[in-house]
Amino acid sequence: MKKLMKKKVSLMGKEFSVLAFVAVMMVGFASAALVTYLSNEVSADVKVDSPIEMFIRAETSDPWAYTANLADMYGGQEKVFYTRIVNRINEPILNKPFTVTITNVAGDATCADFTMMSIGAVSGVPVLNSNCFEATAGVVTIPGVQSLAALETDDDTIGFEFALNVKPDTYTFTTQIMNA
């Protein structure tokens, strides 16, 4: 130990005891092991929403909303409700599946419950073909395709007519654009 204390190391023109040099190096390595970073940490959060926002209303005089209460009706009656689709980004959204899904409380909705279904423009000119599909038992789907220019707003009508002999029930209509 005495030999180690007497031994000198030259560093930048100055002489140091080997023991002092080793001690300083060990303290340096120990403190470096304790701190694994050289700066503080910063972060940012971002909330991401859908590029498309949809609204619905039961009557043209109603305000646009996320839900609508369609008036009660009878078998054999026709009803139209309205959807608004807003492209919120500065890019076109092209050829996306647009569906109207219809279910009922009993879980047994079929295409036979309806005599007419349509998806069309407010002006009355149809923009989407409307066919009835029963891909899942108790779920009726009217498929279409939607394209929107950058920042475009599109108002459409959803029309349907219940069959005269439809079983009384409560039906739910859900519209959505899918990314497929």
Residue 121's pLDDT band (boundaries 50, 70, 90)? low
pLDDT at 15: 73
Measure Cα distances from 13 to 5, 8, 16, 17, 141 in Å: 19, 12, 10, 13, 87
Is the model's pTM score more than 0.75? no
Task: Quote the domain boundaries for residue 147.
Answer: 52-177
Do 170 and 120 share a domain, yes or no?
Answer: yes
Q: What is the pLDDT of residues 16-71, one digit of tens each?
A: 676 666 777 776 666 656 666 778 889 999 999 999 999 999 999 999 999 999 99
Answer yes or no: is 27 within a domain: yes
Do 102 and 138 share a domain, yes or no?
Answer: yes
Do 65 and 151 share a domain, yes or no?
Answer: yes
Looking at the 3D structure of the chain, how many domains does it have?
A: 2
- For 84-143, the DSSP string reads EEEE-SSS-EEEEEEEEEEEETTS-B-GGGEEEEEEEETTS---B----EEEETBEEEEE
Answer yes or no: is 46 within a domain: no
Residue where the block lists tokens 């108002």: 155
